[in-house]
Amino acid sequence: MAGILISLVLLTFMAVTAFYVLRLRHLFSVVMLTGVFSLLSAALFTNLDAVDVAFTEAAVGGGISTVLMLGTLALTRRREKVPETLSIGPLIIALVTGAALVYGTLDMPRFGDPNAPALKHVVPEYIEGTANDVSMPNIVTAVLASYRGYDTLGETAVIFTAGIGVLLLLVWRREEDEEDEDGEKEDRA
């Protein structure tokens, strides 16, 4: 019960943080609040027994992603332009989608249900198998690297590709391109 209460409190904190992310115009504060949001979610993951995930989220969300956002701010600007009108369209989309999703959750198994369908399919096999075939204490590592090795290979390839993409966009430019761009700027001026 205490565990559930803690997660509810953390979730409420996160909702407040997200609301302020929406409201604030100063991008520096927005980025810092995103870091707070990530740390809160890391705390929530720990509370929900997902220690490996919490670990990753704290290092990625609280650390690297915040640093990258700050780096981008340093390269661009730190204030958001004031929007001219209140955006009704997006609000309606968000409200309708949200209502549909909340309606959908009414059929979900209750929070912490030990008989949830998600627990019944392959998970018992994985837990048994980790003990007998892989003989590793950490089930998450065993599933990640052994049972779902193909997935992980794919994810690693995605990270590799994204990294190459960033390098292509920001570093490895041919000299002709730079000359072209200078030419364009002069044209426009």
Partner 1 sequence: MIQDILAHYNYWIIMVLMMIGIYIVASRGNLIKKIVGLNIFQTSVFMLYITMGKVEGGTAPILTGKPEVFSNPLPHVLILTAIVVGVATTALGLALVVRIREAYDTIEEDEVRDQDNATVAEEMSRAAR
Partner 2 sequence: MKHHLVLRVVTKLMIPFILIFGLYVQFHGDFGPGGGFQAGVIIAAAFILYALVFGLEEARKVVPDGALRILVPAGVLIFAGTGVATLLMGGKFLDYDVLRPSDTGGQHLGIWLVEFGVGTTVAAVMIAIFFTYAARPHQIDDEDW
Name which of 43 and 142 has its Cβ closer to partner 2.
Answer: 142
For the bound state, the minimum distance from the C-beta of residue 100 to partner 1, rounded and expressed in Å, comes to 9
For the bound state, the minimum distance from the C-beta of residue 39 to partner 2, rounded and expressed in Å, comes to 14
- Encode burial over 130-164: b for 16+ CB neighbours within 10 A, e otherwise: beeebeeeebeebbeeebeeeeeeeeeeeeeeeee
For the bound state, the minimum distance from the C-beta of residue 157 to partner 2, rounded and expressed in Å, comes to 6
Q: How far is CA 31 from CA 4, 38, 86, 154, in A?
A: 29, 11, 23, 30
Answer for which of 39, 43, 62, 143 binds partner 1 (CB under 8 A) is 143
Name which of 22 and 75 has its Cβ closer to partner 2.
Answer: 75
For the bound state, the minimum distance from the C-beta of residue 77 to partner 1, rounded and expressed in Å, comes to 7
Name which of 71 and 183 has its Cβ closer to partner 1.
Answer: 71
- CA-based nearest residue to 49, from 117, 138, 109: 138
Say if residues 129 and 147 touch (Cβ distance below 8 Å): yes
Contacts to partner 1 from residues 98-117, by CB under 8 A: 98, 101-102, 105-106, 108-114, 116
Say if residues 61 and 41 touch (Cβ distance below 8 Å): yes
The DSSP output letter for 164 is H
Print the binding letters for residues 158-187 with partner 1: x by CB under 8 A, - otherwise. Answer: xx--xx-xx--xx----------x------
